[in-house]
Amino acid sequence: MKSLPYFCRGEVVKGFGRGSKELGIRTANFPDRVVEHLPADIPTGIYYGWACVGHGEVHKMVMSIGWNPFYKNEKKSMETHIIHTFKEDFYGEVLSIVIVGYIRPEKSFNSIDELIAAIHSDIEEATSRLESDDHRKLKDDSFFTPLDRTIMNGH
């Protein structure tokens, strides 16, 4: 995929409310306009990369791009699971992400337990892959540096 790494940001909006309630795995959702601007060569599936909420720290993330076949969504979505525990929701905050690599295509599952197991496996895979030097350097990319900090540091 020539569009990777792919950098984007957008406001966190309410999703379907399934991530934390049904799956125990919180996700941050992008608005439709961010999803609609994805490059055509980024197919649906599960991806990994880095994410930052507001001007906070940069954390590892895993992301689902697509229609979530298990739930038979009618709208394509981008759902980011940041591999970090946040104390509270961050709806309305700006989420900045860099998609670094692809894990697998999206697929349906026979049960919610199978889906949860697959998500945990994706999280482990993302965590492991992001340890490579090539991927780790993207964590420190200037994309994640707020403009006001850049100016204050003389860059």
Q: Which of 39, 43, 147 is nearest to 96 (CA)?
A: 147
Tokens for 46? 């599960």
Return the active site residues.
Answer: 79
32 Cβ neighbours under 8 A, 6+ residues apart: 75
125 Cβ neighbours under 8 A, 6+ residues apart: 48, 62, 103
154 DSSP assignment: T
Helix then strand then coil, in percent of the chain rounded to 5, is 25, 30, 45
Q: CA 95 from chain center: how many Å?
A: 9
Phi, psi of 59 (to 5 degrees): -125, 160
- Evaluate whether 8 touches 52 at the Cβ level (below 8 Å): no
